[in-house]
Structures are given as C-alpha cells and as structure tokens.
Structure 1
Amino acid sequence: MPAPARSRALWLMLTAAALVLLSALSVATGTRDVGLGDIAAALGGHVETIDQAAVAMRVPRTILALLAGGALGLAGAIMQGVTRNPLADPGILGVNMGASLAVVVGVAWFNIASAHAYIFTAILGAGVSAVFVYVIGSLGRGGATPLKLALAGAATSVAFSSLVIAVVLPRNDIAGGIRAWQIGGVGGATFERILPVLPFLAAGFVISLLSARKLNSLALGDELAAGLGERVAVARAVAAFGAILLCGAITAVCGPIGFLGLIVPHLCRLLVGVDHRWLLPFSALGGAGLLLAADIVGRIIARPGELDVGIVTAFVGAPFFIWIVRRQRVRDL
C-alpha cells in the first residue's frame, strides 16, 4: 500500500475510534454522574431509575449530534469545492439563515407544525438562499468570484437575521421557542424528532459523496473541467443540491449551527489532502466528532445547566474564521 493510502487509512481508524470514544463519553456525561451499570442497563432497554432514564435521554441526543455534525461538515466541504472558496460555509454563505427564515415565516404566518412541514420549508429556504447568494455574487465583472460570494453570503445572513427578528418581534406566543431554536442545539432530542429527517439526510449524504469525482474536476477550473467532458453547471448544481438537503434538514431539527462547515474541511485537508474522494467522507466523520465534542463541552462547563452547541461552535469558529481570512490573501480569494 502506498504511503499516502496508509496514512489515510490510519487517520480513518483513529477518527472512527475517536467517534466511538466521544459517543461513550456523551452517553455518560451530563448534569448527573451515572455508573457503568446504569449505562449498560439503559442501553439494554431497562429504564427503572433516574440515572438510567438520564442515559436513555442522552442516546438520541448523541445520535442527533453525530448526524448534524456529519451533515454540516460534509456540506461545508461541498460548498468549498463548488465555489472554490476557502471561506465557504453553510452559515457564512447564508444557507442556514435562509432555512431559518423560511421556518420562522412558516411558523408565524402559516402555522406549520408537523416535522415534515418544518423540513420541507427549511430545505426550500436553504435552496432559495443559495441561489440568491450565487446570483448576487455573480453580478459585475469576473462573475462569481470566491470573495464576492463570501461578501454576498455575509450580507444575506445579516439581512435574513434581521428579518427573522422582525417576523418574531410582534409574536410573543412563539418568540420564546423561536429564540431558543435560533441558537442551535441538540438538547431535547428524541427518536421521534430524528426519524422524519433521516430520508432527507440519507439522500443528501449519497448525492454529496457521489459528487466527489466531479468536484475534483471542478477544482481544476471550469474550462479544463469542461475540456475533460464535465458538464460544469450540472456538476455544480447536483453537488450544491446535496449540500442544501443536508443543511436544510439539519436546520429544521437543530436550528442554525454555524462555523462547523468552515472548520472541519480545513482540518481534514491537513490529514488527507485535497482529493474529494477522501475529503468528503473524512469531513462527515470529522464534523460528527467535532459537534459531539462541542456538545459534551457545553454540558460540562455550565453545570448544572448547559451551553447549546451553537454557542460553543461560535466560540471556536469565530477565531478560526479570522485566522483563515488573515492567512489568505484577499486577491487570492
């Protein structure tokens, strides 16, 4: 086996082991300290004590954190590949906030209540936002440059955030729930909340992972990719659709969680390189591990309360974003 392949296989095993360790830690960590006997009993379906009930509640939370982190990490890698922009991220490009605005409007004006209505509305909002940002970023000379897309996405996020406040402000009946959801978190997860979103996540994961070869072609530049027989617009649209499915579905369940899609692909490139056939699955695994770790940290540092995972990722992601901006020359973006 060549050295790069051995290195990637080693990182794959280490990442898988870290996910197993983090999952065990997540099940065991919370406002109550529980013993191994209670953990084993709860995982075996026996919920007879408060400690066992606490463990049973942490299991769906752990699963949702893994799914959300994997989806956002993979979506971030897809968006960076589609736009060839190192600053691309579902939050920075306005996709998460577009999904959020759509859900808020749906709740406030159309009284949507079912899980599937939330999911379809969020995916629609994410898609419209992505198209809007791309159109705005394409205006002027040079087309959709990475810098123009980042600026258009940032402006769109701010505008949509203000619209969310404007929609919620006169509605005291929904304001509390919307504000809590807007922070972004995996607390209160149940299997009933997770099951409706699984088909959308499965479709998003499959479409995104199958786009790896096309993203490798797009990385060479549009003209060279077209010369190799790639339909550039179609390849870009299909990959972006997979990312939109992932972002919209997770935002519907967890609220907008920022910066994860920015951090994870950069870290994974350091480990496995720029080949999207490796980068995409590693970004999914890395995102799952990072979000689960952030959720665990949020439970530990604020005992007996907890910090929502969206707050923890913001604390980590904002300095990382500043570092990326300072590291990249503006003319190279």
Structure 2
Amino acid sequence: MRTLGRGALSNEVGRFERYGRVCESDGWDNDPDLPLLRTDVAFETARSLITYNRSPDLPFDRSINPYRGCEHGCVYCFARPTHAYLGLSPGLDFETRLVARPNAVDVLRSELSARRYKVAPIAIGTNTDPYQPIEKTHRITRACLEVLADFGHPVAIVTKGALIERDLDILAPMAARGLVRVGISLTTLDADLSRRMEPRAPAPKRRLAMIRVLTDAGVPVRLMTSPLVPGLTDHEMEALLAAGAEAGADTASWIMLRLPREVSQLWQEWLAEHVPNRAAKVMTRLREMHGGRDYDPRWGHRMRGEGQYAEMMAQRFRTACKRLGLAQQAPALRCDLFRVPAQAGDQLSLF
C-alpha cells in the first residue's frame, strides 16, 4: 500500500499489544501501481457520550467526541495514543481506521435529559476533529449540535475542518443566544509545511477564510496557535496571531507541542524524514522545557513546559495579543437558557 497523503510514517502496534510488528520493504514501496491506503470506518454503539475531566489545565469539565481517530492525519496529534485502547496503532491506524458513533445523538439527548444533569459548557473536538472528512457522510456532529440547540445548551467547538461552515444555520442562531464559541487551530502559515504535518486538514489560507465566514455570521472565534513547534514554527507566533486577528478572531490561545506516549516516536520519525536539519534543535528545545524528557505529563506543565524558553514564548504571546487587541480569555457562554424540551406524552405545564 502507498501512504501518500498520510501523516504518520509507521504503524507500530499499541502499547497494550503482546506482540510487536515489523514492516520490511520489498522494494515496491514507490510503485505507482500499488493501491493507496484508504480510510476504513467502523461503527460503535456508544453506551455513554459525555466524558468528564478534572484537569486544572482545561477550561471545561466535559466533552463529547462523535468519532474515534481522525483522518486529518496531523502527525503531532496528542490524541493518537487513545487508539491503543481499541487494539489499533496510534500511527497509520489512527488516521485510516476510524470509528463513528451513529447513536451518539440519542445517547446525548438521554444524558442531557437526566434529572441529575447540571449544565455547563460542553466541548466538542478536544480529542478528534468533529469536522473531519467523514462527517460529510455521517453527520453525527451536526445531529449533536441540533440536540444542543434544542436544549439551549452551551458548546465550545475546536476544529480545523471547513465543513463547519455547513452548520452555520445552527451555529449562528446559537451564537446570537450566547451559546457557542469556535476555536480554529492554525499551526503555520507555510502551506507546504502544513501539508506535510497535517496532510488532510485544510490549508492555512482556508482556515483563515473559515474564521472570516464564521465571524461574519456572528459566531465568535478563538484563534488557537497550537501546537507551536520550537525550532520549526515558533518564529511564526506573531504572524499567526496577526493573521487570525485580521480574519476576525477576537480571542487567542497557544499550546506548546506535546509528545505523550507513542506520539514521540511518530514525531521523531516525521522530523527525520521531512526536516532532518531541524530535528536535533526541535527535540533539544522540547527536552529543555520538560526536564530532559520528551514530554512532562504533569498538570500545570504539560501544555507549555517550563524554563526560560517557555517563559519567553508566553511573553511574546501576551505582548502580541495586547498589540492586536486579542483577548486571552473569552466571555463565558450562557448556561441559564438550558431547558429539557417537552417530549411526546409529557404532562403540560399549567403556566
């Protein structure tokens, strides 16, 4: 199989597997007649949908993910290790063997209707992109948004996918009620570098156009300069923020490159293949921020690292945001509009 248009360069088994897997070239790797590695979609019956977290690093305590795996193929994606829980590889499997959850909308409606449920903003897209290409066919994200709109439930969406523009008929009315905010991730303005790091995500110019379309429709957008890669994209921070502000974003955030578990090996393979002259610098900078390790998972450290370099990047971000008029904290979404819609057979209110 040819892996043209994929981010990962290997497909090592996940950390829970008993046996490893070794691929050996037979000399036919570049044969143009070999079939391309295609995307396969399996289906899962979800028993629950809302996932809760207690991380002090995150501005939300709950999220939903309509899909497992992500076809965008971003080689640096911190969510890749979650595919190991399925017995699949965080490498090529993560971006080619996807799982859709077609009953997600029914489960979500049930969970929101529970008497014990207490409303707070739900995040969508924190693990895998809700607007990756398979959403065009399966429309699970759209169905979940329809439920959230019916309930008057606040939602924060993170995506790189231009397909979000399809759902403006839902998002714009929700935004007018203070119920939605969208985060657009922009890692670089270099189209060639983006194509290699994020092979199936929209190009940088297309993502900036998405910001303009959303903000013109009244949907507030946060520009996410994430992840910043030391020694590779860190010099673009100010340019990324300026481009996002010009496109209409009113808020911005940043996260340093994270390499949990299997992501470190996949990332270093990518560096050696695509930017071998930068590989040593990138990894040295990362290890400086994580006490000599590729990654430090501790709360309060994992998102941005520590030390002089990390503080310099934080100062550059604060200075640029102040100059560009970008807020670093968005206004709170409304929670007071939440209501469980009346269902067939419900007793009507007297008032």
More helix by proportion, 1 or 2? Answer: 1
Structure showing greater relative contact order (alpha-carbon pairs closer than 8 Å, 6 or more residues apart): 1
Superposed pair shares fold, TM > 0.5:
no
TM-score normalised by L of structure 2:
0.26
Structure showing the higher strand proportion among its residues: 2
